[in-house]
Chains A and B, each alone.
Chain A
Amino acid sequence: MEILSQAWSTLILDPMINSLIWIYSGLGENFGLAIIVFTILVRLITYPLTASQIKSTRGMQEMQKSKKWQDIQKKHKGDREKLAQEQMKLYKEMGVSPFGSCLPTLIQFPIIIGLYQAIIRSLAVTPIQLLELTRHLYPFYNAAALIPLNNYFLWLDLSQPEKDYGIEIAGFTIPILAILVVGTTFLQSRLMTPPSTTGDQGANMSRAMNLYMPLFMGYLAYSFPSGLALYFVTSNLVGILQYGIMGRLDWRNLIPSRFSSDKKKE
């Protein structure tokens, strides 16, 4: 366990913390801007993973729509084992990796966790956190001159959850950043999900994703330090931009499905 923790620290956490602080020093000691720039860099570095994920997802969807797959499903309706074997064969034939769409997501998961830890640890608002931070700093730059980091950006205290300090209107705390997270996550998932046939499994799954994911991300943004929420918003916007540049955005998905299918009938 100790070795794993050490490896996590050396390979993920330390580079992230020091990169964040280094970027912070170069951006006029603005941690909000540092998070934004760092997120853009991380998205650029992980772009090959994103591209491969998109490719695999598309391949899977095309396979599921194919007549051959539908025939196989009909033929082996009662035999799950045989159906699975045939499915694997078809994957091979069509050059689709069944793990191609989820593996990049799994690889990005530690990056998200690492970034979250890096943001929280860099802001270090208590003695234990600050002492812990000193253990992650590289000796070849003068971090002492930068600490404590300035944790304010626009109206945000990046070290605190927005629920604790958000802008109050008529006695209610309005979590603007959390709303932005919900909005951009929703937009991203809608724009990136290709239209699918009603009733197919992929479509149902996508609908569930489109519903749960923005709410879940909003909950995280509301409950955890705002630095993480800023990362979510930036990451979503960069993701949309990347997909747009690849010509993969599907604007039809922004139109409600019933209206969209009515249009198709016309």
Chain B
Amino acid sequence: MKRKQFIFILVFIGIALTLSACAGAANTATSWPGLTVDDQYAYVAYNTQVYAVDLENGSERWRYPAETDNNITFYSDPALTDDGQLIVGSYDSNLYSLTAETGMQNWVFPDAENRYIASTLVDNGSIFAPAADENLYSLDPDGRLLWTFTSAGESWAKPITDNDCNCLFLPSMDHTVYAIDPQDGTEKWRSEELGGAIVGTPAFDNNGVLYVGTFGGKLFALNAENGAIIWEFSTQDNGWIWSGPTISDGVLYFGDLNGNFYAVEAANGIQKWQRSPEKDKEEIVGSPLVIDENIYFTNNHGFLYKFDSSGKKIWEVNVDPANGKGKIYTSPKTSNGLILVAPIQIDELLVAYNEEGTKKWEFIPAGN
């Protein structure tokens, strides 16, 4: 009898373990790294740490917090302020201010009731932090709350500003874009339902047009004054657009989750070219990086591509050529002539290439 009860309890434990495995362990990553650069350091926010990495050689300058706390995890791009702060939101619903030079904590803003998935925007001395509690918090540089704007959905995308119209544009998971007065947080307009959630930061040009990609497989050009749709572009097979487009010389560059990459005329929404770099349609999640006339973008298969503005592939490199396990969802960044990518599922947290695609260094956090 005792043996049967023992087996019975073992089965229970087995079920519990199976369900736990499905749920994921407490410190399993739930997103990809956030990455920001200045002319000296790259700041990488991933899982339980924020790292400052020297761009010269990929060495670690500091990490925050010094002691790992599994309850505090970071995934959004950190934001640099003019007075040397590094602002980064955490999944513990707190917004942290660190000294960019040293990694010392300055203040913590604790008002949010849900995690920070979106990156924070710093503009004109103000901090705009969208949280997943459907609120956008505006703070002064000392972390004091100025105002709160509540939308009808979570915000996973960094907002952008347009100083000409004195607008702050907030993309939302509720399928709309909000235009807000950055001084007092009042709503100026909200777009119509755009057919899908928006998790990418919109692009904005000098002609007063906002470009927004949606999960509905559409890229919209919106009038920044009133949110009216100017044109819309559909991706092939309605491929979901995760990150916002990057605009350069009147052309919008973006990828979709079906693995297609597009160049679209900003003036009229007409496609210039489309490329599918891989047969397997590996997802393109991050926004592309445009330097001069070259476009850099990454995909789910761990590739970094360089295309020219006519759509011709110049080179490709894989972040994990030996095993092919690395995935890149974070948008690539550039500084000091380096192209920086932050892969996941491999030891390297940051890899630097030059513009010819040669690896210059890699950063593997000590202790990992």
User: Closest residue of chain A to B344, judged by CB?
Assistant: A128
Q: B167 within 8 Å of A by Cβ? A: no
Give chain B residues whose Cβ lies under 8 Å from the Cβ of A99. Answer: none
11 pairs from A and B in contact (CB 8 Å cutoff) = A117-B22, A127-B329, A128-B31, A131-B329, A144-B195, A148-B153, A148-B173, A205-B5, A205-B8, A216-B12, A216-B15
Query: How far in angstroms is the closest Cβ of chain B from A107?
Result: 15
Determine which of B16, B23, B195, B285 lies in contact with A145 in the assembled complex, contact meaning CB atoms within 8 Å. Answer: B195
Interface string of A151-170 (1 = CB under 8 A from B): 00000000000000000000
Q: Give the total of B residues in contact with A, Cβ under 8 Å.
A: 41
- A147 interface hit (Cβ, 8 Å): yes
Q: A208-B8, A216-B12 are in contact. Are A145 and B117 (CB under 8 A)?
A: no
Residues of A near B1 (CB, < 8 A) are: 201, 204-205
> Counting CB contacts under 8 A, is B311 at the interface?
no
Asked whether any CB of chain B lies closer than 8 Å to the CB of A224, the reply is yes
Give the interface size bracket for A toward B.
Answer: 20 to 34
* Chain B positions within 8 Å of A128 at CB level: 29-32
- Inter-subunit contact B216/A145 (CB<8 Å): yes
Q: Determine the chain B residues whose CB is within 8 A of the CB of A120 once the complex forms.
A: 22-23
CA distance A48 to B79 in the complex (A): 58
The answer to whether B117 touches A148 (Cβ under 8 A) is no
Complex Cα distance A126/B173, Å?
12
Instruction: Indicate if the CB atoms of B257 and A134 lie closer than 8 Å.
Output: yes
Contact partner, B5, options A125, A208, A224, Cβ 8 Å = A208
* Chain B positions 199-217 with a Cβ under 8 Å from a chain A Cβ: 199, 214-217
CB distance from A101 to the nearest CB of B (A): 14
Interface digits, A20-40 against B, CB 8 Å rule (1 contact, 0 not)? 000000000000000000000
The total of interchain contacts (Cβ-Cβ below 8 angstroms) comes to: 80
A144 adjacent to B31 (CB under 8 Å): no
Q: With A116-B22, A127-B30, A219-B16 given, can you name 6 additional A-B contacts, CB distance below 8 Å? A: A113-B18, A127-B75, A144-B197, A145-B216, A147-B196, A204-B1
**B279 lies within 8 A of chain A by Cβ:** no
Taking a contact as CB atoms under 8 Å apart, the answer to whether B237 and A144 are in contact is no
The verdict on A257 contacting chain B, using a C-beta distance below 8 Å, is no
Task: Closest B residue to A219 by CB, please name it.
Answer: B16
- Contact string, A198-212, partner B, CB cutoff 8 A, digits 1/0? 000100110011001
Interfacial chain A residues near B175, Cβ < 8 Å: 145
- The smallest C-beta distance from A122 to any residue of chain B, in angstroms, reads 13
Question: Is A220 an interface residue, CB under 8 A from the partner?
Answer: yes
Which residues in chain B, 16-35, are within 8 Å of chain A measured between CB atoms? 16, 18-19, 22-23, 29-32
B30/A126 in contact, CB under 8 A: yes
- A171 in the interface (beta carbon within 8 A): no
Task: Judge if A196 is at the interface, Cβ distance under 8 Å.
Answer: no
Instruction: Annotate A87-121 by CB proximity to B: 1 below 8 A, 0 otherwise.
Output: 00000000000000000000001000100110010
CB-CB under 8 A from A216, the residues of chain B are: 12, 15-16
How far is the CB of B299 from the nearest CB of chain A, in Å? 12
CA distance A54 to B363 in the complex (A): 60
Q: How far is the CB of B175 from chain A (nearest CB, A)?
A: 8
**Within 8 Å of chain A (Cβ to Cβ): is B169?**
no
Within 8 A of B (CB), among A126-151: 126-131, 134, 139, 142, 144-145, 147-148
Residues of B within 8 A of A116 (CB): 19, 22
Q: How far is the CB of B79 from chain A (nearest CB, A)?
A: 18
Bound CA–CA A134/B31 (angstroms): 15
Given A144-B216, A144-B240, A220 and B16 touching (CB < 8 A)? Answer: yes
Given A139-B237, A148-B154, A208-B8, the answer on whether A224 and B29 have CB atoms closer than 8 Å is no
User: Which are the 8 A-B pairs with shortest beta-carbon distances?
Assistant: A126-B30, A144-B196, A144-B215, A127-B31, A144-B216, A148-B173, A128-B30, A216-B12
Among residues 147 to 197 in chain B, which have CB atoms less than 8 Å away from a CB atom of chain A? 153-154, 156, 173, 175, 195-197
Q: Which residue of A lies closest to B174 (CB)?
A: A148
Contact with A along B67-86 (1 / 0, CB 8 A): 00000000100000000000
A212 touches B30 (CB 8 A): no
A79 to chain B, nearest CB (A): 19
Across-interface contacts of B268 in A (CB, < 8 A): none
> How many angstroms from the CA of A145 to the CA of B193 in the assembled complex?
10
A130 to B200, CA, bound (A): 14
Which of B12, B15, B117, B217 contacts A127 (CB under 8 A)? B117
**B197 near A148: Cβ-Cβ < 8 Å:** yes
Shortest beta-carbon distance, B73 to chain A, in Å?
10
Q: Is B226 an interface residue (CB 8 A)?
A: no
Question: CB-nearest residue of chain A relative to B75?
Answer: A127
Which residue from chain A places its CB closest to the CB of B29 in the assembled complex?
A128
Q: Which residues of B contact A205 (CB under 8 A)?
A: 1, 4-5, 8
**In the complex, A242 Cα to B283 Cα: how many Å?**
45
Chain B residues near A127: list those with CB within 8 A.
30-32, 75, 117, 156, 199, 329
User: In the complex where A113-B22, A201-B1, A216-B12 touch, is A147 in contact with B197 (Cβ < 8 A)?
Assistant: yes
Given A131-B283, A147-B197, A220-B16, A126 and B240 touching (CB < 8 A)?
no
Task: Please determine whether A212 and B8 come into contact, CB atoms closer than 8 angstroms.
Answer: yes
Most central of B196, B283, B329 by chain A CB within 10 Å: B196
When C-beta atoms are compared, the residue in chain A nearest to B132 turns out to be A125
Whether B31 contacts A126 by the Cβ 8 Å rule is: yes
Kindly report which residue of chain B lies nearest to residue A139, judged by CB atoms.
B237
A-chain residues with CB within 8 Å of residue B230 when the two chains form the complex: none
Q: A127-B75, A139-B237, A144-B214 are in contact. Are A212 and B196 (CB under 8 A)?
A: no
Alpha-carbon gap, A120 to B19, bound state (A): 11
Query: Roughly how many angstroms separate A130 CA and B22 CA in the complex, as a whole number?
Result: 15
B263: min CB distance to chain A, Å: 23
